Amino acid sequence: MTERRREVRRAIFPAAGLGTRFLPVTKAQPKEMLPLVDKPTIQYGVEEAIASGLEQVIMVIGGGKRAVVDHFDRSREIELYLEQRDKRDLLEILAGVDRLSDQLDILYVQQKDPLGLGHAVWTARRLVEGEPCAVLLADDVILGGPPCLRQLMDVYARTGATVLAVRRVPADQVSRYGVIDPGPSQGRLHEVRDLVEKPQPGRAPSDLAILGRYVLTPEVFRALDRTEPGAGSEIQLTDGIRGALETGRVVALEFEGDYYDTGTIPGYLKANLAMALKRPDLREEMLGVIREFMEAPEPLRESATGPV
Ligand code: UTP
């Protein structure tokens, strides 16, 4: 007899990290609020959760993340200012952000110390107890195709397993990621036998890297309950998933969609450029800028380019 599966209704957004790779900008500004052109990365995540049909987003935040809360709240001051000047197009942009929190509930829990991604997810345990839940890392922006979380939720509905989003990455980059040791595969769906966090070069079990989307079963939370951080070290989410492998099934989906890693400076800059080139109002101007840079003699001289 098959056990009746509970629906995935909630997503945890761990957003309590310190974003040290982006210092100094992240000294007093959450990394999740850094924009791709003019929209903060975390807003892309909330839009994906809505498009996936989720009912609740639980943001795990730490000190200094007030701007995230404010972003999804209403700003009457800016509204009033724009109303007085009849700036309807800008008012519509604000209204678009307001509507997000009408379409699902946004809850906040506090991770008091940044003890790792596994700990951040575990911090939200009481709000998801006994239910499967999605996890989205706002750094990983995935656009195009069916919403990535929805793709994982559909796999969960078919399998009842913990589901990881994976993508093949070049061999020289695997040691930056958690990597799966795949078992039998059916097309883009792989059984997971084991996972390794940041394998040594040449020692990765595959080129299938785990990216920032998951559906976790309650077994992962039970495994995280038992995981202790070592002195000064962090609780990894992969430890919780490895624990869940002992009692349950874990699968990995090679998802469809365009993936942007905005968690590193080169990845962030590339994502901004890609997004700007997709915008009809910016495309031509940006192509002109790129051409100008390409044609400029090395080293690039300010006088050759003028102010951008
Ligand atoms: P990262 O390691 O990519 O983010 O964590 P970070 O720690 O903020 O960045 P750096 O390495 O210092 O530059 C992946 C995700 O997990 C969250 C982060 O906010 C990010 O979304 N996280 C990480 C937490 O919520 N709590 C933690 O203790 C650690």
Q: Where are the domains of the chain?
A: 2-277, 282-308
Amino acid (1-letter code) at residue 228: E
Q: Which residues contact 8 (CB under 8 A, 6 or more apart)?
A: 54, 131, 132, 133, 134, 153, 156, 157, 215
Calculate how far, in angstroms, residue 189's C-alpha sits from the geometric centre of ligand 1.
27
Ligand 1 atom with least separation from CA of 13: 21
Indicate the pTM of the whole model: 0.93
Closest by CA to 227, choosing from 87, 118, 126, is: 118
Ligand 1 atom with least separation from CA of 18: 8
The DSSP secondary structure of the chain, one letter per residue, reads -PPPPPPP-EEEEEE----GGGTTGGGSS-GGG-EETTEEHHHHHHHHHHHTT-SEEEEEE-TT-HHHHHHTS--HHHHHHHHHTT-HHHHHHHHHHHHHHHHSEEEEEE-SS---HHHHHHHTHHHHTTS-EEEE-TTEEEESSS-HHHHHHHHHHHH-SEEEEEEE--GGGGGGSEEEEEEEEETTEEEEEEEEESPPTT--S-SEEEEEEEEE-HHHHHHHHHPPPPTT----HHHHHHHHHHHS-EEEEE--SEEEETTSHHHHHHHHHHHHHH-TTTHHHHHHHHHHHHHSPSSP-HHHH---
Q: What is the pLDDT of residue 308?
A: 47
CA-CA distance, 193 to 251, in Å (whole number)? 9
Amino acid (1-letter code) at residue 298: E
Whether the CB of 45 sits within 6 Å of ligand 1 = no
Q: What is the pLDDT of residue 2?
A: 45
Q: Which residues share a beta bridge with 258? A: 143
CA-CA distance, 49 to 301, in Å (whole number)? 44
Whether the CB of 118 sits within 6 Å of ligand 1 = no
Question: 71-113: per-residue pLDDT in tens?
Answer: 999 999 999 999 999 999 999 999 999 999 999 999 999 999 9
Question: 137-169: per-residue pLDDT in tens?
Answer: 999 999 998 999 999 999 999 999 999 999 999
Ligand 1 atom with least separation from CA of 116: 28
Task: Quote the Cα angle for 137-102-30, to 5°.
Answer: 35
Nearest CA to ligand 1 atom 16: 117
Q: Which two tokens stand for residue 88?
A: 């309807």
Q: Which two tokens stand for residue 277?
A: 């080139």
Q: What is the pLDDT of residue 104?
A: 96
Calculate how far, in angstroms, residue 250's C-alpha sits from the geometric centre of ligand 1.
23
Whether the CB of 16 sits within 6 Å of ligand 1 = yes
**How many of the other CB atoms lie within 10 Å of CB of 287?**
12
How far does Cα 174 stand from its chain's mean position?
A: 18
Query: Out of 3.90.79.10, 3.90.550.10, 3.40.50.300, 1.20.1260.10, which CATH number does the structure's domain 2-277 have?
Result: 3.90.550.10
Calculate how far, in angstroms, residue 106's C-alpha sits from the geometric centre of ligand 1.
20
Q: What is the pLDDT of residue 34?
A: 96
**How many of the other CB atoms lie within 10 Å of CB of 117?**
23
Calculate how far, in angstroms, residue 137's C-alpha sits from the geometric centre of ligand 1.
9
Q: What is the pLDDT of residue 296?
A: 81
Taking 70 as the pLDDT cut, the residues of the chain under it are 1-4, 230-232, 299-308
Q: Which residues contact 218 (CB under 8 A, 6 or more apart)?
A: 129, 130, 131, 132
Whether the CB of 138 sits within 6 Å of ligand 1 = yes
CA-CA distance, 305 to 308, in Å (whole number)? 7
Handedness of CA 51, 245, 197, 110 (dihedral sign): positive
C-alpha Rg value of the chain to the nearest Å: 21
